[in-house]
Amino acid sequence: MESYDVIVVGAGPGGSTAAAYLGRSGFSVLLLDKAKFPRDKICGDAVSGKSMNVIKEFGLEEEIRKDPRHGSIFGVAFSGTNGEIVEIPFAAAKEKGRPPGYTLPRIATDNILFQNAKKYAKVKEGFAVSDVIFEDGYAVGVKGRDTVSGKDEEYRAKMIVGADGVGSIVANKAGQGALPPEHACIALRAYYEGIEGMTNNIEIHFVKEAMPGYFWIFPIGEGKANVGLGILMKDVQEKKMNLPLLLEKIIKENKIFAPRFANSKRVSPVQSWTLPFGSKIRKSHGNGWVLVGDSASLVDPFSGEGVGNATTSAKIAAKIIAGALKENNFSEEYLSQYQVEMEAALKPELQTSYMLQKLGRQEWLLNFIIGKAHKSEKVRETLSAMLGSEEAKKEFASPLFYVKMLFA
Ligand SMILES: Cc1cc2nc3c(=O)[nH]c(=O)nc-3n(C[C@H](O)[C@H](O)[C@H](O)COP(=O)(O)OP(=O)(O)OC[C@H]3O[C@@H](n4cnc5c(N)ncnc54)[C@H](O)[C@@H]3O)c2cc1C
Q: 42: CA distance to ligand 1 center in Å?
A: 8
In this model, does residue 220 exceed pLDDT 80? yes
Using a 6 Å cutoff on CB, does residue 173 contact ligand 1?
Answer: no
Range in 74-78, 103-107, 133-137 the model is least confident about:
74-78
How large is the average pLDDT for residues 114-127? Answer: 98
Is there a single domain that holds both residue 326 and residue 190? Answer: no
- Is the Cβ atom of 186 under 6 angstroms away from ligand 1? no
Ligand 1 in reach of 41 Cβ (< 6 A)? yes
Do 195 and 271 reside in the same domain of the chain? yes
Chain mean pLDDT for the chain: 93
Q: Is the pLDDT higher at 389 or at 121?
A: 121
Rounded Cα distance, 305 and 44, in Å: 8
Question: What CATH code is carried by the domain that includes residue 189?
Answer: 3.30.9.10
Please indicate, yes or no, if residue 129 is contained in any of the structural domains. Answer: yes
The verdict on residue 239 lying in a domain is: yes
Q: Which whole number is the average pLDDT over 385-407?
A: 71
What pLDDT is recorded for position 408?
65
The answer on 212 and 195 residing in a single domain is: yes
Range of lowest pLDDT (2-6, 339-343, 378-382): 378-382
pLDDT at 96: 66
Does residue 293 form part of some domain?
A: yes
Q: Say if residue 103 is in the same domain as residue 247.
A: no
Ligand 1 geometric centre to CA of 117 (Å):
16
34 lines ligand 1 (CB under 6 A): yes
Return the pLDDT at 365.
80
Question: What integer pLDDT is reported at residue 388 of this predicted model?
Answer: 67
- Please tell me the distance from the alpha carbon of residue 138 to that of residue 335, in angstroms, as a whole number: 12
pLDDT the model gives residue 361: 85
Confidence band, pLDDT 50/70/90 cuts, at residue 61: very high
Binding site membership of 307 for ligand 1 (Cβ less than 6 Å): yes
Pocket test for ligand 1, best of 36, 161, 305, 353 (most atoms within 8 A of CB): 305
Rounded to 5 degrees, what are φ and ψ at 144?
-175, -170
Atom of ligand 1 nearest to the CA of 168: 38
Question: Is 300's C-beta closer than 6 angstroms to any atom of ligand 1?
Answer: no
Whether the per-residue pLDDT at 382 is higher than 80: the answer is no
- pLDDT of 49: 86
Same domain, 206 and 188: yes
Res. 98: pLDDT tops 90: no
Average pLDDT value for residue range 279-301: 97
Q: What is residue 377's predicted lDDT score, i.e. its pLDDT? A: 82
Nearest CA to ligand 1 atom 52: 43
At 89, the pLDDT band (50, 70, 90 cuts) reads confident
Judge if 225 and 299 occupy the same domain. no
Query: Is residue 217 domain-shared with residue 146, that is, in the same domain?
Result: no
Same domain for 187 and 320, yes or no, is no
Range of the domain at 225: 181-276
Q: What is the mean pLDDT of residues 39-49?
A: 95
Centre of ligand 1 from the C-alpha of residue 367, in Å = 32
10-24, 75-89, 211-225: least confident range: 75-89
Query: Could you tell me which of 181, 177, 158 has the C-alpha nearest to residue 290?
Result: 158
- Exposed e or buried b per residue across 41-69, where buried means at least 16 C-beta atoms within 10 angstroms of its C-beta: bbbbbbbbbbbbebbeebebbebbeebeb
CA of 40 from ligand 1 middle (Å) equals: 10
**In the predicted structure, residue 309 carries a pLDDT above the cut 80:** yes
pLDDT at 25 over 70: yes
Residue 197 sits in the same domain as residue 255:
yes
Phi, psi of 156 (to 5 degrees): -115, 150
d(CA 162, CA 170): 5
Task: Identify the pLDDT of residue 6.
Answer: 98
CATH number of the structural domain spanning residue 291:
3.50.50.60
Question: Does residue 132 belong to any structural domain of this protein?
Answer: yes
Write down how long the chain is: 408
Question: Which of 254, 276, 298 is the endpoint of a domain?
Answer: 276
β-sheet bridge partners, residue 134: 139
Q: Do 191 and 318 belong together in one domain? A: no
Reply yes or no on whether the pLDDT at 37 is more than 70: yes
Number of structural domains found in the chain: 2
Give me the percent of the chain exceeding a pLDDT of 70.
96
Q: Can you give the pLDDT at residue 334?
A: 98
Q: What pLDDT is recorded for position 42? A: 98
Question: Quick one: pLDDT at residue 95?
Answer: 64
C-alpha–C-alpha distance, residues 385 and 146, integer Å: 49
Res. 90: pLDDT tops 60? yes
- C-alpha to C-alpha distance for 264 and 162, rounded to whole angstroms: 40
Average pLDDT over residues 113-129: 98
Are both 18 and 146 inside the same structural domain? yes
Report which of residues 106 and 209 the model is more confident about.
106
**Peptide bond preceding 99: is omega within 30 degrees of 0, i.e. cis?**
no
Of 276, 309, 343, the position where a domain reaches its end is: 276
User: What's the pLDDT at 93?
Assistant: 52
The least confident of 189-203, 247-261, 376-390 is 376-390
Nearest CA to 321 out of 289, 343, 347 is that of 289
State mean pLDDT over 319-325. 98
pLDDT over threshold 70, residue 94: no
Taking residues 246-272, report their average pLDDT. 97
**Residue 165 sits in the same domain as residue 34:** yes
Q: pLDDT, tens digit, for every residue of 162-204? A: 999 999 999 999 999 889 999 999 999 999 999 999 999 999 9
Q: Supply the pLDDT for residue 1.
A: 77
Q: Tell me if 129 CB under 6 Å of ligand 1.
A: yes
In a domain, 380, yes or no: no
Q: Taking the CB of residue 401, how many other CB atoms lie within 10 A of it?
A: 14
Kindly give the distance from the C-alpha atom of residue 108 to the centroid of ligand 1, in angstroms, as a whole number: 13
Could you say which of 276, 303, 320 is where a domain stops? 276
Q: 278: Cβ below 6 Å to ligand 1?
A: no
Whether the pLDDT of residue 132 is over 60: the answer is yes
d(C-alpha 253, C-alpha 404), whole Å: 37
